Amino acid sequence: MISYYIYLMIAIVDYGMGNLKSVQKGFLKSGVDVKVTNQPADILSAHGVVLPGVGAFKDCMANLDRGGLIGPILRAIESGKPFLGICLGLQALFTESVEFGRCPGLNVFKGKVVRFPATALKVPHMGWNIVRYKNRPPIFDGIDDNRYFYFVHSYYVAPEDPAITAGTTDYGVEFTSMIWKDNVIATQFHPEKSQNAGLEILKNFGAFTKRG
């Protein structure tokens, strides 16, 4: 007999970088079963896809390419599957990054990944900060505006289309800390490290996948 969780499998993309165990544990703690995988077939067959990540943009794209994962990720998004990007997984969705020289991204959304400008504030931006909604995604149902979430990053996305910005955060500049368009939701902050509010997001993504 095929189990409920296999039928509604959510794939966490493993490309050799990032806090995979932390993301997996966050989902499991939220009551959502997931599979960490580097297999293109799993991504294509999953009902929902999560692209996490920490580290350098160029290494991320090289590893995705080396693993044959770029095509399956793009096809998953194009097919309308619920998709969640986290931190570097948000940045990879854009046209290019200027980190350590220009590097092309997945180009799902037009825009660049840029470094925080020089201010008195320390870079990387690390710790708790407020997210203000511009357009609340469905997986944020029940989560109040101006909640604190946990960030660790030196670069942020600058979308060409402001309509995809779902939330912003202030850190010397007001930057896009969350995007949403159709089936794609992505956050610069780490839900899996953001205590109760973050775990609620992961739980809601599981429900969003079930509906999708």
| Enzyme catalytic residues | 87, 190, 192
Distance, C-alpha 181 to centroid of its chain: 13
